[in-house]
Amino acid sequence: MTRADAIHGLIHPRSIAIVGASAELSKINGRPLKFLLEKGYAGRILPVNPKYPQIAGLPCSPDIASLPEAADLAIVAVPAREVLASIDALGRRGVRAAVVFSSGFGETGPEGLQLEQAVVDCARRHGMVLCGPNCLGFVNAFDKVYATFSQYADGETGPGPIAFVTQSGAFGTAIAALARQRGLGLGYFINTGNQADLDFSELMDSVIDDPRIRVAAGYLEGLEDGAALIRLAQRCQALGKPLVLTKVGRMASGQRAAASHTGALAVADTVFDAVIRQYGVLRARNEEQMLDMLQALAQPRPARGNGLGIATQSGGAGVMMADRAEEVGLSMPELGEATRARLAEVMPAFGSAGNPVDVTGQFVARPELLTESVVALLGDPAVHIGIVWLQLMTAHVDTLVRIFCEIRDRSDKPFFVCWVAAPAEALRRLNAEGIVVFSAGERAVEAAAALARHGQFRRRLPLAVDAAVLAGVPRDLHDGVQPSVQATAWLSAAGVPMAPVALARDEDDAVALWRAIGSAVALKIESPDITHKTEVGGVVLKLNDEAGVRAAHRDLLARASLAAPAARLDGVLVQRMSAGHLELVVGAQRDPVFGMVVMVGLGGVLVEVLKDVSFRHAPFDTDEALAMLAELRMGAVLDGVRGQPGVDRAQLAGLLSRLSHWVAAMQPWLAELDLNPVLVGASGPQGVDCVMVFRQQGEDPRFPSRPALPASSLPTRQETDR
């Protein structure tokens, strides 16, 4: 049996053993049985407990070995100290999937973690998959599988198009209950607990291709396996299904607290945020925003653009929504002439036929006013999503439900009702009609933005891997700081524009190199032990006469020996002074969760203060690189300020994208890479200084292995430096 088969058995079991089943159906170890019976699970239920001959009319096995069959799934609800033996016995009995409720493992400290590891090792020996431990279990609402003791299952759990996987039991239960309150159906509700074996990504992956599922929603407290999350996001994209995530720990202090709570590896939130958005994940800042987004995404109509049309009963509400739309990246298009003409026909004189359309409260007397206005608005080619805002109208529920049904039937675009202080009956009836209702204007707009972003991402082309860049991928590597000449050559060969640099063998050679360049040069100390040259006074700029070059050469060697007596000195680098009016910082680093990420920022002192940088997971294409540049708060500097010429963003994006490909290919070796500064002048961007450090990684299954390399030889000095 493959792991996939075992996981399939976990989620869609034809038989369920309950180890430690209690006859007290309100207790944790009694509740799954209660739910399975009450809600009509059609498979075989096999309680295991030596205390009872039977429970609720079902024959009860005295121990695991006596189970009448190797159940597809075992629920383990015994004290922590008995879990290891139970798992072993289940494995021997041929059971290949278990959900472990028991707590007292990794969440309690090192001892618990050891026990947890022993349980996982045992399960793996038997080819068994585990959900948990320390979890509330899961619900597969389609097949009425209630392998859970969550309070959520106390209520109605009718299936729906959402798969919800949560690392937190308590918060996840709350979110599930809120989803139910909004009439959102969960097809799957899964609590991962300690993720000793199956983690968030693998569990979500196991349910996302169910055709009844339209949206994936996750609640995260920590993340260890970034590659798996990226694969999941790519899978969701391929399926055309949105993935919505809420992750706590946005702030530095929050991350500390999360680490102490879940023991999960803290991931720097800025990198997390950048990477998941890169892969089309929709991030919800909290549970309410997640549910708002789910409402928009669980309805079947896609957004074919980001044009928002608003019809409102209150000018102020329209302004508030228009403001929010601007903030979240939706456009509020001017309406076309045909739309305006139609609105002028149907609108009252004191309404407003712009966007937002202000229909005022007159539609109470003339319902067709609202219907025709909104149908006209949605009919505008620049409008891709519609929102109708209204309030109270307790006495007009019938009329309004009829109006909204008519609008739905006369347009094929997604539209949402925002009904503030809506009567409960209206919510119920619109829900039953499949019409999405929000309780506040800004919520509706944010949800619309999520739908638009998903649509935009679906229309994006898949990444075309740049094969040419592999020419620049080196071989015959050694750890440590790489020589500047070599590093420069590799990057140049990969298409990353670099300022040529040469190593002078001695003072005379330095002079010869300067003469060959024929204009002002910089001299820099070169040593595998000195990564920050300026800190040891290791850079002299703007030299353009022989005496100066000679003096600088001597000075650099002397200063380096003084500042870093133990450093091995390779000599002095000679480099033409680069021109450029704009200074950027570009770098790559190995994120512990996601692997190689590329960073870009504007250089200079103020940037240090603002931390105005953006990140992407490598590799990425030039469109993504343009998006990185667009994220910089000071990005307007790129377009020229105070008479400075603008820079060519496409050239810069090309540099970033090619670098990202190279960096991705170098994943197994590259530890860090800094191009600081990258100077941008009239002839485009050019990396001037380069610090490249290799540190070969042990085998890490999370990161993709290095692609096959072309048989290129190492570049020589002649190829690169003049």
CB of 326 to a copy of itself, least distance (A): 5
185 counts as binding a copy of itself under rule CB under 8 A: no
Q: Which is nearer to a copy of itself, 516 or 606 (CB)?
A: 606
For residues 441 and 564, give the distance between their C-alpha atoms in angstroms, rounded to a whole number. Answer: 62
Between 504 and 582, CB nearer to a copy of itself = 582
**286 lines the binding site for a copy of itself (CB under 8 A):** yes
605 belongs to the binding site for a copy of itself (CB under 8 A): yes
Contacts with a copy of itself: how many residues (CB under 8 A)? Answer: 78
d(CA 563, CA 530): 10
Interface with a copy of itself includes 151 (CB under 8 A)?
A: yes
Give the three-class secondary structure for 443.
helix
Which lies closer to a copy of itself via its Cβ, residue 112 or residue 302?
112
Least Cβ distance, residue 310 to a copy of itself (angstroms): 10
Decide if residue 132 touches a copy of itself (CB under 8 A): no
Considering only 288, 509, 631, 648, the residue that binds a copy of itself (CB under 8 A) is 288
User: Which of the stretches 147-155, 234-242, 402-410, 502-510 binds a copy of itself when contact is defined by CB under 8 A?
Assistant: 147-155
Distance CA 55, CA 174 (A): 30
Q: 577 with 520: CB under 8 angstroms?
A: yes
Min CB(377)–a copy of itself separation in Å: 15
Cα–Cα distance measured from residue 463 to residue 233, given in angstroms and rounded to the nearest whole number: 14
Q: Which is nearer to a copy of itself, 32 or 302 (CB)?
A: 32
If the CB atoms of residues 47 and 183 are measured against a copy of itself, the closer one turns out to be 183
Residue with tokens 């879990």: 83
Closest CA relative to residue 373, chosen from 384, 386, 385, 382: 386
Report the site for a copy of itself in 316-345 (rule: CB under 8 A).
316-320, 322-323, 326-327, 332
The secondary structure element, H or E, covering residue 145 is strand 145-148
Label residue 488 exposed, middle or buried (CB < 10 Å: 0-12, 13-18, 19+). Answer: buried
Count of alpha carbons within 13 angstroms of residue 585, beta-carbon side = 19
From the CB of 464, what's the least distance to a copy of itself, in Å?
33
Tell me the window of 233-241, 315-323, 552-560, 674-682 that interacts with a copy of itself (CB under 8 A): 315-323
Q: Is 181 in the site for a copy of itself (CB under 8 A)?
A: yes
Contact 487, 466 (CB under 8 A): no
Q: Residue 356 or 715: which CB sits closer to a copy of itself? A: 356
The one among 170, 516, 682, 709 contacting a copy of itself by CB under 8 A: 170
Residue 259 or 569: which CB sits closer to a copy of itself?
259
Q: Is 703 in the site for a copy of itself (CB under 8 A)?
A: no
Kindly tell me which of 604 and 704 has the beta carbon lying closer to a copy of itself.
604
Distance (Å, whole) CA 145 – CA 61: 20
In a 10 Å sphere around its CB, with 0-12 CB exposed, 13-18 middle and 19+ buried, how is residue 304 labelled? middle
Residues 534-553 that bind a copy of itself (CB under 8 A): none
Minimal distance, residue 141 CB to a copy of itself, in Å: 18
Query: Residue 365, interface with a copy of itself (CB under 8 A)?
Result: no
* The binder of a copy of itself chosen from 361, 381, 645, 646 (CB under 8 A): 361
Phi-psi region of 218 (alpha: psi -120 to 50; beta: other; left: phi over 0): beta
Stretch 222-261 residues interacting with a copy of itself (CB under 8 A): 248-251, 253-254, 257-258, 260-261
Radius of gyration of the chain (CA): 31
- Which residues 6+ apart lie within 8 Å of 227 measured at CB? 594, 595, 702, 703, 704
| Residue closest to 162 by CA, chosen among 215, 220, 233 | 215
Q: Which of 394, 534, 705, 716 binds a copy of itself (CB under 8 A)?
A: 394
- Give 641 or 714: the residue with its C-beta nearer to a copy of itself: 641
Q: Which is nearer to a copy of itself, 143 or 288 (CB)?
A: 288
Smallest gap, in angstroms, from Cβ of residue 246 to a copy of itself?
8
Query: In what helix (H) or strand (E) does residue 465 lie, and over which residues does it extend?
Result: none
Fill in the per-residue mask, 547 to 586: x = in contact with a copy of itself (CB under 8 A), - = not in contact: ----------------------------------------
H helix intervals, 589-691: 605-610, 622-631, 649-665
Closer Cβ to a copy of itself, 107 or 570, answer by number: 107
Rounded Cα distance between 653 and 622, Å, is: 5
CB of residue 408 to a copy of itself, shortest distance in Å: 23
Q: How far is CA 97 from the centre of its chain?
A: 29
Joined together, the tokens standing for residue 289 give 């925003």
Burial of 722 (0-12, 13-18, 19+ CB in 10 A): exposed
> How do 415-420 and 385-391 pair as beta strands?
parallel
Please give the biggest Cα pair distance in the chain: 101
Q: Looking at beta carbons only, is 461 or 609 nearer to a copy of itself?
A: 609
- Determine, following the binding rule CB under 8 A, whether residue 614 of this chain makes contact with a copy of itself: no
Could you say which of 58, 118, 610, 626 contacts a copy of itself (CB under 8 A)?
610
- Between 314 and 622, CB nearer to a copy of itself: 314
CB of 583 closer than 8 Å to CB of 604: yes
**What contacts 318, CB < 8 A, 6 or more positions away?**
310, 312, 356, 358, 389
Q: Which is nearer to a copy of itself, 80 or 572 (CB)?
A: 80
- Which residue in 468, 477, 516, 606 binds a copy of itself (CB under 8 A)? 606
Instruction: Give the Cα separation of 693 and 658 in Å (integer).
Output: 18
Does residue 110 belong to the site contacting a copy of itself (CB under 8 A)? Answer: no
Segment near a copy of itself (CB under 8 A); pick from 567-575, 635-643, 678-686, 704-712: 635-643
- Establish whether the linkage from the previous residue to 161 is cis, with ω within 30° of 0: no
Stretch touching a copy of itself by CB under 8 A, among 118-126, 388-396, 407-415, 459-467: 388-396
Could you count the other beta carbons within 10 Å of the beta carbon of residue 46?
24
Nearest approach in angstroms of CB 549 to a copy of itself is 28
221 scored as a contact of a copy of itself (CB under 8 A)? yes
Candidates 62-70, 82-90, 387-395, 529-537 — which segment interacts with a copy of itself by CB under 8 A? Answer: 387-395
The closest of 399, 389, 397, 404 to 424, measured between CA atoms, is 397
CB 190 within 8 A of CB 216: no
SS3 524: strand
The answer to whether the beta carbons of residues 377 and 357 sit under 8 Å apart is yes
Candidate list 59, 79, 315, 434; residue touching a copy of itself; CB under 8 A: 315
Say how far residue 415 (Cα) sits from the centre of its chain. 27
Tell me how far, at minimum, the Cβ of 312 lies from a copy of itself, in Å: 8
Q: Which of 548, 604, 668, 684 forms a contact with a copy of itself (CB under 8 A)?
A: 604
Q: How far is the CB of 132 from a copy of itself (least distance, A)?
A: 15
Residue numbers 637-676 binding a copy of itself by CB under 8 A: 637, 641-642, 644
Could you tell me how many residues make up the chain? 722
Do residues 460 and 430 make contact, with C-beta atoms less than 8 angstroms apart?
A: no
Phi-psi region of 159 (alpha: psi -120 to 50; beta: other; left: phi over 0): beta
Binding mask 416-455 for a copy of itself (x = CB under 8 A): ----xx------------------xxx-------------
Choosing from 314, 339, 371, 614, the residue that interacts with a copy of itself (CB under 8 A) is: 314
